[in-house]
């Protein structure tokens, strides 16, 4: 499609959606580092100058991309807990991890959040992202405190921050290249192998139990 100048809000939204869709297609086969604004423009059939009317940097595009995936993950998580009246820490952790594993693209995105996106973001983009994170964390705090009323609001936020840090760390440690996998198959290095789901489930369980004092 050859995009003409957007003259209405609806047309602008269509252009933004097209840019995000193009970015999603590129990200399905390429790393964040290898994707350029020029590549996004070509994939979306935009000129570079036209793309700049909607996004000023690659980081701004990926922030919108990430906000979309965070909201979808949070809705999925809330839906999974909605019909449960009570559960143990272990059961809560199991659901948490199972839901996150359904959102692999989100895991890829958050793995570059602090090292790339936030460091190169504009002041305006970063504020917008943090405001979204505040809103989403606020809703998840409510979920946590429904099951574990002894958690204070501050403790619930600590849990959310810490599980994010652990998720990022474990994802980067388990999203391995072929060479990394080959080396870890050697008997001398097999103890470095980690399973993402098992490790995150253990971490979430320990975090909650620690905050609950149990």
Assess contact for 103 and 69: CB atoms under 8 A: yes
Q: What do you get for the CA distance between the two ends of the chain, in Å? A: 59
Is the alpha carbon torsion for 10, 15, 20, 25 positive or negative? Answer: positive
Backbone angles phi, psi at 111, to 5 degrees: -70, -20
Q: What is the pLDDT of residues 57-91, one digit of tens each?
A: 899 999 998 999 999 999 999 999 998 989 999 99
CATH, domain range 57-212: 1.10.357.10
Q: What is the pLDDT of residues 96-147, one digit of tens each?
A: 999 999 999 999 999 999 989 999 888 988 999 999 999 999 999 999 999 9
Q: Average pLDDT for residues 5-31, to the nearest whole number?
A: 84
Give dist(CA 37, CA 172) in Å, integer: 25
Instruction: Indicate where the chain has its CATH 1.10.10.60 domain(s).
Output: 1-55
Other C-beta atoms lying within 10 Å of the C-beta of residue 92? 20
pTM over cut 0.95:
no
Backbone angles phi, psi at 149, to 5 degrees: -60, -20
Place of tokens 């809705």: 75
Give dist(CA 81, CA 145) in Å, integer: 12
Assess contact for 196 and 171: CB atoms under 8 A: yes
Q: What is the pLDDT of residues 143-184, one digit of tens each?
A: 999 999 999 999 999 999 999 999 999 999 999 999 999 999
Other C-beta atoms lying within 10 Å of the C-beta of residue 153? 12
1-55 falls under which CATH superfamily? Homeodomain-like (1.10.10.60)
pLDDT band (50, 70, 90) for residue 185: very high
What's 85's DSSP letter? S
Instruction: Indicate where the chain has its CATH 1.10.357.10 domain(s).
Output: 57-212
Phi-psi region of 213 (alpha: psi -120 to 50; beta: other; left: phi over 0): left
Tokens matching residue 164: 């994010």
């Amino acid at each position: 499609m050859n995009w003409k100048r957007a003259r209405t809000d609806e047309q602008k939204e269509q252009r933004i959606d097209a840019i995000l869709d193009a970015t999603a297609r590129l990200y399905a086969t390429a790393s964040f580092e290898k994707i350029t604004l020029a590549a996004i423009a070509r994939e979306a059939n935009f000129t570079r100058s036209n793309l700049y009317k909607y996004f000023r940097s690659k980081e701004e595009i990926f922030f919108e991309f990430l906000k979309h995936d965070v909201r979808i993950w949070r809705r999925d998580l809330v839906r999974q807990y909605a019909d449960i009246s009570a559960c143990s820490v272990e059961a809560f952790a199991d659901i948490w991890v199972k839901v996150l594993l359904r959102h692999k693209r989100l895991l890829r995105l958050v793995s570059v959040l602090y090292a790339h996106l936030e460091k190169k973001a504009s002041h305006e983009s970063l504020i917008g992202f943090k405001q979204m994170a505040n809103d989403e964390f606020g809703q998840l705090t409510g979920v946590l405190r429904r099951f574990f009323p002894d958690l204070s609001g501050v403790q619930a936020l600590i849990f959310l921050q810490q599980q994010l840090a652990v998720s990022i760390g474990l994802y980067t440690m388990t999203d391995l290249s072929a060479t990394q996998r080959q080396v870890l198959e050697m008997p001398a290095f097999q103890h470095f192998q980690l399973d993402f789901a098992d490790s995150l489930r253990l971490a979430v369980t320990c975090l909650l139990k620690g905050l609950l004092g149990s």
